[in-house]
Amino acid sequence: MDRYTPGRAVLSFLAAFLLLMIVLPMLYPHGAFTDLDGRAGVIDNWGKLAFADPLTRAVYFLGDLFCHQEWARSFIINGSQMAFCQRDVCILTGTILGLVATDKAVCRIYAGNRLFPIAGATMVISTLVEWGFEHLSGMDILAARAATGLLAGAGIALILQYAATKEYEKVMGFEKED
């Protein structure tokens, strides 16, 4: 086990979850998952998922619990809404891409670099700025939502890799691996 193992474990889980979100709507008839608009933090659509298998219900349940799932802000696959909105899917995708980019097999920059969490926080803040602009101006810009979601996800990956590296070094009793 090395300092990149936690990041790889998170990467594997998130990649599998994203794959499920993409594949599951294709396993059902066209338009099987529609009209899922609701509120985050509230289970609005459990009854609408009664026809689905347990795995599909679990994925869409998480979307129902943690996301607003607005039709206009969702990616549509096979006529169905994905379990999470565009911004959340882009954050998840950005985190996956960021974890790949910060793995030692790809990146030669030391993941314990103090700039990782600073850059990560700045990237996450970009989504908060976009969200605030969207709500203050009333404008709905899909490309901005997707781009800042990808940035925020990559920022989350930087913070995760930094924290994992520092914790690994503390537990193992050394500063950094050459």
CA 167 – CA 178 distance, rounded (Å): 17
Asked if residue 175 is part of any domain, the answer here is no
- Give the side-chain half-sphere CA count within 13 A for 35: 5
Number of domains in the chain: 1
Asked if residue 20 is part of any domain, the answer here is yes
Q: For residue 153, what are the domain limits?
A: 5-169
Asked if residue 177 is part of any domain, the answer here is no
Q: What is the pLDDT along the chain (178 residues), one digit of tens a residue?
A: 777 888 899 999 999 999 999 999 999 999 999 999 988 899 999 999 999 999 999 999 999 999 999 998 999 999 999 999 999 999 999 999 999 998 888 887 888 888 999 999 999 999 999 999 988 998 888 899 999 999 999 999 999 999 988 888 888 877 654 4
Asked if residue 178 is part of any domain, the answer here is no
Asked if residue 12 is part of any domain, the answer here is yes
Asked if residue 64 is part of any domain, the answer here is yes
- Give the side-chain half-sphere CA count within 13 A for 144: 13
pTM of the predicted model as reported, rounded to 2 decimal places: 0.89
DSSP 14-63: HHHHHHHHHHGGGGS-TT-S------TTS---GGGGTTS-HHHHHHHHHH
